[in-house]
Amino acid sequence: MALYRVENISFAYQEEWVLRNVDLEIEEGDFVGILGPNGSGKSTLLKVMSGLLQPQEGRVSLENREIHRIPPGERARQIGVVPQETYLDFPFMLEEVVAMGRYPHLGWWGTLRYRDMEYVEEALATTGLLELRNRTIHQLSGGERQRGIIARALAQNPRVLLLDEPVSNLDIKYQQGIFELLLQLNRREGLTIILVSHDLNLASQYCKNLILLDRGRLKALGPAEEVLTSENIKQVYQVEVEVEKWSPLGKPRINLRPPDLEEGGQKGIIPRRIHVVGGGGSSWRLLKRLRSAGHELSLGAVNEGDTDSEGARELNIKCVREIPFHHISDEKLNQTLEMMVEADLVVIAEVPFGRGNIGNLRMALAALQKGKKVFVLDGENIANRDFTGGDAVKLWEEMKKHGARTVTPRELEQILKEGEEDGQKEKN
């Protein structure tokens, strides 16, 4: 039996329907992301599911009990809610804020007992906040505060956690931290999690199932690979995207196609497909410059978690990623070579080469042998970055014989502007 049943609900704040005929079920132990453009009704759906708003049509039930018929205290023991914004003007201590989560459980006298404090303790421990318990809520960073609000909901010991954009104001590291925490709660404690998210890729990576709303109607429901198709996204968000099906996490990744690409990029620049070999932050600025000039980019192979890998993620650049701290495998090298061959040209950033990533140079040589143009930034000084005992230098010498060129970043820019990729102006 489904835990949650949303049966054909319609909801309006005033005259206009904000949700229309939404019908879905959520199983216990699921981790669901609610997606959709601004104003599509995501927050409203979450509020209807929490019992805060009552739909004009249809019904919502939790384990076959209509949510409005469950007394508020009991409802709060079942459902923990993390709202979009929490206003806490009074400088409560973190521990006091988390203890507020116990209120629905307190007896007649409203005093916290030993057992309540155990839940508070556990919620603080789970969210990694034990050491900060005596700080006031205003002495916490955005990420710690958000974890505190989640801890308050966990102290309720609920079966379901509903969260409205839990990471919207956090930087990328805290975003990942919160999603990892939720994933653990879902996997280890079996907590059912339903959250509203703005970020398609985070939701794709972490959620088991997704709900896509389109102007108050249910557009799609199911696992990410069924919901996040380029057609669905185009229809709902009105943007062109590429869906990368083979991201290293096995979940689809959405890459926005910059509109200037379709219009031919910046003035005087012919947009090209460029494959970049980077790593360790060596290509981050290069990627940004090439992207803003309107080129279509790919990167790799790099290790997951590497600065350039993260940079590519932020810029929605296709990337071949190996698992952290592993040598780049033959499989990933083959994918890299495929990308190089598909590109118009290959650029190798000032990457230090070691045993783990030297394969990228072998792939660049193979691409040259297939007739691809390869440019190496500061190629002549590759010896300073060669930590393989000389293999990188040898490969570079071999690459030169096949037409690879050393360039400065300025020269590269000039070459891309003038279409002078092989040292001679292209004849039109």
Q: Which chain residues interact with ligand ADP by CB under 6 A?
A: 13, 18, 36, 38-44
Token pair for 205: 């990576």
Contact call for residues 254 and 200 (beta carbons, < 8 A): yes
Burial class (CB in 10 A: 0-12, 13-18, 19+), 43: middle
Helices and strands, number each (H, E), in the chain: 16, 18
SS3 286: helix
Main-chain dihedrals φ then ψ at residue 170, nearest 5 degrees: -105, 155
Contacts of 367 (CB under 8 A, 6+ apart): 337, 340, 341, 346, 374
Secondary structure letter of residue 386 according to DSSP: B
CA 61/CA 78 separation, integer angstroms: 12
Query: What is the three-class DSSP state of 209?
Result: strand
- Considering the complex, what minimum distance in angstroms separates the CB of residue 39 from ligand ADP? 4
Helix (H, G, I), strand (E, B) or coil at 329: coil
Whose structure tokens read 């609000």? Answer: 149
Contact in structure between 113 and 121 (CB atoms under 8 Å): no
The SS3 of residue 241 is strand
CB of 280 to ligand ADP, least distance (A): 39
Smallest distance from ligand ADP to CB 86, Å: 17
| 3-state secondary structure (DSSP) of residue 134 | coil
Residue with tokens 């969260």: 163
- Taking the C-alpha atoms of residue 198 and residue 175, their distance in angstroms, rounded to an integer, is 12
Contact present, 157 and 102 (Cβ < 8 Å) = no
Rounded-to-integer distance, Cα 32 and Cα 103, Å: 27
Placement of tokens 């997951």 in the chain = 304
Strand partners, 273: 296
CA 408 to chain centroid: 34
> How many angstroms from the chain centroid is the CA of residue 69?
37
- The answer to whether 284 and 299 are in contact (CB under 8 A) is no
- C-alpha 31: how far from its chain's center? 15
At closest approach, how far in Å is the CB of 18 from ligand ADP? 4
